A and B are shown apart, each in its own frame.
Chain A
Amino acid sequence: MDSILENFGKKVLFFDGAMGTILQSMGLAAGEAPELWNLSYPEKVREVHLSYLKAGADILKANTFGANPFKCHDNHTDLKTVVSSGVQLARQAVAQAGHGMVALDMGPTGKLLAPLGELPFEEAVQAFSQMAQAGTAAGADCVLIETMNDLYEAKAALLAVKETTSLPAFVTLTFDEQGKLLTGGDIRTAAAVLEGLGADAMGMNCGLGPAQMLGLIQELRAITSLPLIVNPNAGLPREQEGKTLYDVGPEEFSLLMKEIVKAGAWAIGGCCGTTPDHLRQTVSLCNTIPCQKLPEVHSTVVTSGSQTVEFGNFPVIIGERINPTGKSRFKQALRNNDLPYILREGIAQQDAGAHILDVNVGLPEIDEQDIMCQTVTELQSLSPLPLQIDTSDPEVMESAMRIYNGKPLVNSVTAKQSSMEAIFPLVKKYGGVVIGLTITEAGIPETVQGRVDAARHIIETAETYGITKRDIIIDPLTMAVSAGKNAALVTLEALARIRQELGVYTSLGVSNVSFGLPQRENVTAAFFLMALQSGLNAAIMNPLSEGMMRAYRAFCALSGYDENCMAYIDAYTQQSPSAPVTAVADYSLREAIEKGLKDAAALAAQKAEKNMSGLELIDQEIIPALDEVGRKFEAKTLFLPQLLMSADAAKAAFDVIKSHIGGQSSEQSKLTIIIATVKGDVHDIGKNIVKVLLENYGFHVIDLGKDVPHEVVVDTVKRERAGLVGLSALMTTTVVNMKETIQLLRQETPWAKIMVGGAVLTQEYADMIGADFYGADAMASVRYAMSLANEL
């Protein structure tokens, strides 16, 4: 055979079956790395390969599955040697048998990627690159990335392979019976991401038997135009007397595999529990079945790491709020690297009904690349919504597309040559749906025809980069109607014609239409409805605007997008009030804080400020209220969640007062507090609670996060001349690191007091490691900080 890709689709290709479970039957212990047998028992590995070739395998999976730097970290063995020997053993078997090809086999690292896990994306890419390099040099014919249960990690591996070698790259994932990956991604999402990244084939392996996979393969076949590879286990695993058993025998297996080929698979084989017998029977039954033609798929989809949004099914709302334009508070957040503020804007839009979140963090005086990557990384670990990466800088665009865990919406490209030259290669490499703005070298065309022509130019140029229409959405540009009476009509007509004549989906940033007019929402909402009626598929808009959402929900109900008007009814039926509640405005500031009512506290502070100065309010209302809550907490008549609610309410009141008296919110803020979960520890719930409580009691707190190295703590304390350091550790094993941090702080920053907390700590422990104070609970830390502040 010449190359795998040339043979794909001409006849069914056969992968081999299991390696690990067969080596186990030859004496490999549970928990022992099968890859190390490449060096210790090469003849046995070769023997397994040969037995599969004899059974009719076309492609051998080299024994390199776990040979990555995280799993094979035996100091005595060089990773490259393990990979090379694995590929070479398969090559030797192929030479001996006179037929067959070799796939470099890459399994998961066993680490979860950051930020929920600890492995940074680029480190994962690097690890897979090392394997790909070694495997290519050793003579592999293709790379099979397999048993992936995290789509993000599969992306790292695929990117690494595409960047390291020109060998064909295949990805098979492990789904559960519901068609979900362990990290939550579904089949549609996986298909969109892998196809976008340029996998040469995709499919599934391990986890399930052929019976369970059949339905999933039928689903997958309908939504991707990639060739499919299916390597099931010999049934679902069953534990018996300490052995993992797989119950589907060779005959049953082969009959089911026949159905899988009929469902459209081009390459099949086996995973755990399958044997040469399974393969032999499968080959004889499936060998002559002709391969199905690949389907043409036309859907336009973007995804997060877990879910998909398809355009054309309903009008899509793209939340526009993560954007500094015209928002001073947002600009301030960007300058201060206040990521939580930015993330809250995202979550609020998600809760308000956005389907996609636009992310634009461009501001001249900040490092846009850095903050864009931070925002994307954090937001994608919090929200299941797909992101729209919005930047005018192609470098920022590339780094964001790279670390994104799904198939993004990309905002944007224009019909200008330079723009298309910069953006299309990125869309081709990383996969994505790109928004094309109808802007030409001469500017924005004033006529409908001009905009349609610009759109056509974008679509035709994209084709030359191998980007099809399904990955382009055209935005015919909303212009301010105050600047030209036909501005809105031109946009709407262009929209309708582009949709009809060019067959692409459309989007608009609708808010621009009302620029320069009073009560803008009136005009924007009306224009939005007109655009929807003209066939608009997606709107970049503010989902927190009630007027816009009213228009949207009513349109969906009237246009058949809202079955039985359920969404409309959900949104606008008054919840029956459970008990008469005191109106928010009726509470005094002190009451509002004691009851933990945030909105009431802010309102009460505004009202009270008319009669009292800010400092009086703090001394006579806020501090006494917090004291009272603290006392009740200590007396165990109210509890941590309520303490935190009161602190939140106090914070809301502080914010009102601060905006008037300019920063000097309370005397206590003289004390700067540095807070961190120590090196090696990733538990930060307790630390986060203490942080918020301290902040809400008026302290300036710098949070260094979790797993913080000693030096970072010391350097920050020095730089900020902090008076208090709070260290948290949850495990006995990490208290050791707490001790080391304290020792270093004592040497370098002798002025700083140190308080410690965490589940395993006690007063004795705290004394032993040399802390000044042991915080038994969150309130105790606040009391201690207050006592230090009073001494200042």
Chain B
Amino acid sequence: MLDRDEVLRYIGAAQNNDTINSMINRAEDEVIRTSRPKHIARLVSIEVIASEDCIILDGTPIKSRDLSQHLEGCQQGFLFASTLGVGVDSLVKRYSITNVPMLPVVQAVAAAYIEHYTDIAQKELEDYAEQNKMYLRPRYSPGYGDFQLENQRIVFNMLEISKKIGVTLTENFLMVPFKSITAIIGLSRDPSLCHINKCMSCSMKNCPFRRKKY
């Protein structure tokens, strides 16, 4: 059900073996059992002011050159958030005390699962785009490039994320439960800009997986 190759990649395992496989099986059972995935999305108007490296999101200005480039040509988009819920945090904590070798495996499976869930949840947005003869841009999240993490606050308020799906923000704008995603997804009439895969437009080039998001 989850993409094994991706899980292995998150673990940092170049190939498979029986030990790792059985650990992944166990982690998959537990992560899926303890997760309560939820998501929320809202259509917003987008105005890109390229000359000022700025976008205006339903009237709220956000300064970011990378984001304004990423959303170039979009007049609309979705604000999106998803989470696996706090049960996975508890599971990770439990393993960090009782069985540390499972820790990287649980972490990898949870990362793959939130991606998997989010891809499915995004289907309804794709349907909307298709009906309106538009295309979705890849997800772009606060913390990518120069799209400052502080902007989480704006996304959280506009989507009422804490109330609707129970994700909270720490003082430093990190999300709890930790397996959560927030993003802006541009809608454009032009399919040519949509080939960039996932976070490939992100400037965190050092990120070993380039899709992994915290």
Contact = CB atoms under 8 A, between A and B. Distances in A.
Contacts of A383: 94
Contacts of B38: 182
Contact of A648 (B11, B100, B158): B100
Contacts of A642: 19-20, 101
Nearest to A643: B101
B101 A644 contact: yes
Question: How extensive is the interface on chain A, given as a class?
Answer: 35 or more
A626 B63 CA distance: 50
A281 B117 CA distance: 41
Contacts of A149: 163, 166
A558 interface: no
Contacts of B156: 110
A344 B98 contact: yes
Which residue of B13, B101, B172 has the most chain A CB atoms within 10 A of its CB atom? B101
Contacts of B14: 636, 639
B86 A116 contact: yes
A344 B102 contact: no
B173 to A, nearest CB: 7
Contacts of B69: none
A608 interface: no
B176 interface: yes
Contacts of A242: 42-45, 58
Interface string B2-46: 000000000111100101100100000000000010100111110
B93 interface: yes
Given A147-B163, A642-B20, A117 B41 contact: no
A182 B172 contact: no
Nearest to A351: B98
B204 interface: yes
B72 interface: no
Contact of B174 (A107, A183, A244, A731): A731
Contacts of B170: 111, 117-118, 682
Contact of B165 (A147, A182, A685): A182
A279 to B, nearest CB: 22
Interface string B178-212: 10000000000000000000000000101110001
A180 interface: yes
Contacts of B87: 184
Contact of B43 (A31, A147, A239): A239
B101 A688 contact: no
Contacts of B178: 682-683
B96 A688 contact: yes
Contact of A239 (B17, B41, B93, B98): B41
A381 B90 contact: yes
A389 B2 CA distance: 41
A596 interface: yes
A689 B104 contact: yes
B59 A640 contact: no
A645 B206 CA distance: 28
Contacts of B172: 680-682, 731, 733-734
A641 B162 contact: no
A185 to B, nearest CB: 11
Interface in B137-169: 143, 149, 154, 156-158, 162-163, 165-166, 168-169
A241 B19 contact: no
Contact of A641 (B11, B157, B168): B11
B41 A731 contact: no
B104 A382 contact: no
Contacts of A174: 163
Contacts of A614: none
Contacts of B92: 685
A639 B101 contact: no
A112 interface: yes
Contacts of A32: 157
A733 B173 contact: yes
A29 B58 contact: yes
A118 B168 CA distance: 10
A340 interface: yes
Contacts of A681: 172, 174
Interface of A: 29-32, 107-108, 110-112, 116-118, 147, 149-150, 174, 180, 182-184, 206, 239-242, 244, 340, 343-344, 347, 381-383, 596, 636, 638-642, 644-645, 648, 680-685, 688-689, 692, 730-734, 759-762, 765, 777
Interface of B: 11-14, 17, 19-20, 23, 36, 38, 41-45, 58-60, 85-87, 89-90, 92-94, 96-98, 100-105, 107, 143, 149, 154, 156-158, 162-163, 165-166, 168-174, 176-178, 204, 206-208, 212, 214
27 contacts: A29-B58, A29-B60, A30-B157, A31-B157, A107-B163, A110-B168, A116-B90, A116-B93, A116-B177, A117-B176, A118-B176, A150-B166, A182-B36, A182-B165, A184-B86, A241-B43, A344-B98, A644-B100, A644-B101, A644-B104, A648-B100, A682-B174, A688-B100, A730-B214, A759-B206, A760-B206, A777-B12
Given A31-B154, A182-B36, A682-B174, 5 more contacts: A112-B177, A149-B166, A642-B19, A685-B96, A692-B100
Identify the 10 closest CB pairs spanning chains A and B, nearest first. Answer: A182-B166, A31-B157, A242-B43, A644-B101, A639-B13, A680-B172, A31-B158, A110-B162, A112-B168, A692-B100
